[in-house]
Chain A
């Protein structure tokens, strides 16, 4: 049992960067902007964070560097979308490739050398709570930060005034505009902030989970795409998104754990398995919306139809209506 708890604590720690990135992208997309560069961005901030920490000796400067890099990326995307009116998808995609290559290129001097790591810090009293203590309160400070982030962002988005305005901007920018809100300013802000948070995910890996910069073996390549999928899976809700992140990393761990029992299946497949599962979920989340499904459902008997509708409505959370669409005043 103890071993299991230790592994689970490890899952919590490993999921934290994903959680933080998902919350960041949730904020960005809530304002109506999509940041497709996440995959390259996280790899880049992983390198930048490590390099900075290595050069300065300070782990926290490394983390700050990751955040700042993220903010810059967010500004590039919002600027090219809002002021230059170019496609968010195009710029985001190009950046995802460029950031990744920049990370590998500029990171060569920092390969496979030991660097500072974030120590763990058990919280007194809380750490001794049976089970929960071992899972959640014997972690490093960044994990504790993620707890605050989950709760804080949830309250911010759904129970605060500025969060209300954020949601308004994402849903109906024209209505928000006629109520005097500076739609584009909000988008700049949240894209930069969201990308900054996603930028924290990189250093969280290289300064803690898998310490050091190992180039292509860092294991981060692909995580950005997963963050984007989990954001959708989470229905643009930080709580659900965090759940998705924990679930994803848990499934990865499960794959490794089950390995000795599934001799015929190569380990790499189990590692990759959560990805297609995510996509299938996306499919089910979206499928309730299409015309032909609606027609089919209309033919079901009443009782069954109600139940199916409820399931679909639970799974399906519509995106912010203005996602990806630039806002232009007349």
Chain B
């Protein structure tokens, strides 16, 4: 008999968060820093001024976009580690398209829209490669994804130092920046664009509706939880898994396009900026529930932005944000395991 364990569940979740903070504090102490001071700096670094808040939102957009895509692949039971490469290919495709059209004289709106569409295509193609390797080549999507990530990075570097290099000396700072007319219009005074916020919100809604209110979403869920039973119910599982790759590729491509059009305005070597892997963390932490990803991604983005203060204020490396983010997910998972064992034990003793 399964009883309602809501309170136990909440307690364990909170315990996970606390343990993560505790762990990060210990790490800080090893680095001979004051944990409270560090936390305060991160917090202020993310929210103390309007510009900083805007920057947090700027970082939030790509993260929530990748989370949208990854929630879909996770629902189908897949580990899409290749997300980084998919973002990169989206960025490459967008850059290519913008380079092609930048002197065409067409209105910016048109060029940018086509740029976004190109980005989506790039992401989808790369995702389909990973899916194809899995279903037709028998390669695990983890290794296919990893390999494709490397190829994507290599491709980026080749383009930046080869055919697309800046006049003069090619450098790690990327291709020649696009003209301002091809920049995503921002709120004056900030780096944040209303369009990116809109895109993010729409994406979240689309994914939410897709997974909660459509037959496709329900089928993906069945495929992810029990492929054998899914077949019994008439669902072609391979087709749906490939579909989830394609859908994730769309969001990855959008992220890549956003990075080029809205943030860097050019192609740089690490254009995906780790948002893919970070998105995997977010998706895991929210147990694949996209609505919860909205605040969690914001938290992670704020941690990133706030972490920038650490080198300035305390001579610490900003990777502490990464430590916090990964420890939140790690301890969530570990304590979740403990929780299940705890519940099993309680049920056994009360049954006797």
Contact residues in B for A85 (Cβ distance below 8 Å): 337, 340-341
Candidates A84, A104, A287; contact of B337 at CB < 8 Å: A84
A80 CB within 8 Å of chain B:
yes
Mostly, the B contact residues are helix
- B178 to chain A: which residues have CB within 8 Å? none
Q: How many residues of A contact B (CB 8 A)?
A: 50
In the docked arrangement, what's the CA distance between A102 and B157, Å? 27
Contact in complex: B153, A286 (CB < 8 Å) = no
Out of B139, B170, B323, B340, which one reaches A105, CB within 8 Å?
B323
- B138 at the A interface (CB under 8 A): yes
- A109, A276, A282: the one contacting B154 at CB < 8 Å is A276
Known pairs A287-B138, A289-B138; A279 contacts B337 (CB<8 A): no
In the complex, B333 has a CB within 8 A of chain A: yes
Residues of B within 8 A of A86 (CB): 333-334, 336-337
Contact with A along B247-286 (1 / 0, CB 8 A): 0000000000000000000000000000001001100100
The distance in angstroms between the C-alpha atoms of A276 and B136, with both chains bound, is: 18
Q: Is B316 an interface residue (CB 8 A)?
A: yes
A-facing residues in B280-326 (Cβ within 8 Å): 280-281, 284, 315-317, 319-323, 325-326
Question: With A and B bound together, what is the CA distance between A198 and B157 in angstroms?
Answer: 29
Q: For B284, what are the chain A residues with a Cβ–Cβ distance below 8 Å? A: 90, 94
A interface footprint on B131-174 (CB within 8 Å = 1, 0 otherwise) = 00100111100111011101101100110111000000010000
Taking each of B136, B139, B151, which has the highest tally of chain A beta carbons within 10 Å of its own beta carbon? B139
Q: B12 — which chain A residues lie within 8 A by C-beta? A: none
- Asked whether, in the complex, the Cβ of A101 is within 8 Å of the Cβ of B146, the reply is no
Q: Is A142 an interface residue (CB 8 A)?
A: no
Q: Which residues of A contact B (CB under 8 A)?
A: 36, 80, 83-87, 89-91, 93-95, 97-98, 100-102, 104-109, 215, 222, 225, 228-229, 232, 264-269, 272-273, 275-276, 278-280, 282-283, 286-287, 289-290, 292
Besides the known contacts A83-B337, A106-B31, A268-B154, 6 further A-B residue pairs in the complex with CB atoms under 8 A apart = A97-B325, A268-B157, A269-B161, A275-B151, A279-B150, A282-B147
Task: Report B's interface with A, CB cutoff 8 A.
Answer: 27, 30-31, 79, 81, 133, 136-139, 142-144, 146-148, 150-151, 153-154, 157-158, 160-162, 170, 277, 280-281, 284, 315-317, 319-323, 325-327, 329-330, 333-334, 336-338, 340-341
